[in-house]
Structure 1
Amino acid sequence: MRVSVVIPALNEEATVAGVVRTVLIDAPFEVIVIDADSTDNTAAVAARAGARVVNWRDVFPELQPIPGKGESLWRGVAAASGDVVVFVDADLVDPPAGMIHTLAAPFTDPDIHLVKASYARLLGDDSAGGGRVTELTAKPLIRLLHPELADIDQPLAGEYAIRRSSALRLPFVAGYGVEAGLLVNVSGRWGRASISEAQLPPRRHRNRPLSELSPMAETVAAVLLQRAGLTHAGFPGERPPLSDRI
């Protein structure tokens, strides 16, 4: 099983090298950093750390990028060539070694299509309680609208894995609602049993101000509402399945 690691990055020069070096310990088939037009040294730092850096405009250059994380993941799946794609956020602080093996291991079961990381999200004082959008927006809406997924510990986790063949058949929300969209779509297409969880050590991300979290929460809410058939608008675009292009 060939494992491709895709790391979406936008102005993450402070942390991306540590993430790249950590995932390389697991010797995946390839490590790709999708650079979303960073204005700092993210691309150079990632390349020096050992990643193949691809500017998102170089994947389907005829398409103008839609701003947002999901766009980077969609183009990252297109750029990857492994059997399994593991997504890892570029802003992790002290990422744990071994997470690529852990996230890829469940795919020995042919009925597994998506593996989500399960972990405690830490705040600056090392207490649990991070992930404000997850706890205050995603989980309540999932319990109400998609109760079959209510047991997922980290529905918005940026560390997760998907069969590339499955990813090619799914639409990708262009923005920060991509994780919520993929979670619901995989469950809807292949059933809740097709989603597994993998336990990882406690995690610390760069905590963002409320001014950044508010639009993220709005996008996640819009995606979950749309997937439940309650609205048809509200999130910033969606890319169709890559199988339509590849």
Structure 2
Amino acid sequence: MPRTLHHRDFADLPALVEAKEAAGLKVSLCIPTLNEEGTIARVVSVLKAALFDEHRLLDELVVIDSGSTDRTRALAAEAGAEVILASDILPFQGPRTGKGENLWKAVYQLTGDILCFVDGDIGNIHPRFVYGTVGPLIRHADLGYVKGFYERPLLAAEGVDPRGGGRVTEILVRPLLQRFCPELAGLHQPLAGEYAARRELLEQFAMPTGYGVELAHLLDCHRLHGIGTIGQTDLDERIHRNRSLAQLGRMSGEILDAFFARAGGTGLQSGPNPQERPPMISLPEYRERFPAAAERARKTA
């Protein structure tokens, strides 16, 4: 069972920053975006004010954009984020699109020892979405990957279902984990977009370029490092846009691709997923950019 924590345990930001600095850690935040003009300015401004300007928990705040056709990039920059097109990072690797592509490229682009991810569509953004997942990694050296979890209201014609969100999790992902990887079934929100991880873990993961990336992270982390390195933090409630059934269907297909690519030992047919990027540590350009990664790669060769 993953260790379960609560965001209020890490809400003393001056103390958390002091602990970060004492440990010699650098923390980077990535917000992956595609057409988030309705929310991105507030997401960036709230997190920057609390966690970069007032308390320097974050050393970097970067929006990596998939090629938005609205004002997402302009609004994010105006709010104070560094904004980068995913296609401008490692361009010689060829064009791919999708959330997982942004996250994979974040491992190369961002320089932190801890990388934190927050989606750009959160309507009730609060600093807890960052310090709640980063804090455990600062305070607990044995943890390497921390997911957020929360209540997710579902807005429907008949009103608000306070726990109706997370449909793909409950219909698809949780049954898969209960059947084939029960140790991970205790994660409340395995597909949550709010989480933090240590660089030395993320660089080891092959990453699907689409929505299967979050499940792939968990399966690879569990396989490589065991359940003890995974934690989860209660972040209370997350309000965001609800997707259509057609969109959820496409998302489910990408999640299944990621699962089947890692299905060895489950009795299911497994094989490589052509829509995955290789572990970042396998790229010479990454090892040149991060000499410590080159040393880690040498020791495990």
Partner of 1:88: 118
1:117 and 2:148 aligned:
yes
Mapping of residues 96-245 of structure 1, within 5 Å: 96-107=126-137, 108-124=139-155, 125=160, 127-229=162-264, 230-232=268-270, 237-245=275-283
Query: C-alpha distance in 2, partners of 1:34/1:238?
Result: 18
Q: SS of the residue aligned with 1:156?
A: coil
How far residue 234 of structure 1 moved from its aligned partner, in angstroms, is 8.8
Calculate the TM-score normalised by the size of structure 2.
0.78
Q: From the superposition, tell whether residues 135 and 236 of structure 1 become closer, same or farther in structure 2 (CA, over 3 Å).
A: farther
1:85/1:73 Cα in 2 relative to 1: closer, same or farther (>3 Å)?
same
Maintained 8 Å contact 1:65/1:71: no
Measured in 1, the distance between the counterparts of 2:193 and 2:42 equals: 16
Give 1 or 2: higher helix fraction: 2
Larger mean CA deviation between 116-125 and 149-158 belongs to: 116-125
**1:4 Cα deviation (Å)?**
0.5
Question: Residue 155 and residue 116 in structure 1: after superposition, are their counterparts in 2 closer, same or farther (change >3 A)?
Answer: same
Greater mean alpha carbon deviation, residues 93-102 or residues 74-83: 93-102
Q: CA deviation at 1:222?
A: 2.5
Aligned partner of 2:88: which letter?
A: D
State TM-score, norm by structure 1: 0.95
Q: Following the alignment from structure 1 to structure 2, what is the Cα–Cα distance between the partners of residues 224 and 63?
A: 24
Whole-angstrom CA distance in 1 between matches of 2:274 and 2:246 = 18
Letter paired with 2:154: L
SS at match of 2:220: helix
Q: Cα deviations across residues 125-155 of structure 1 (Å, max 9, x unaligned)?
A: 2611101111111111111111110100000
Superposition RMSD on alpha carbons, in Å?
1.5
* Structure 1 unaligned residues grouped into runs of 5+: none
Which structure has the larger Rg? 2
What is the number of residues matched between the two proteins?
246
Q: 1:47 to 1:162 in 2, by over 3 A?
A: same
Cα distance in 1 for partners of 2:113, 2:271 equals 33
DSSP-derived class of the 2:134 partner: helix
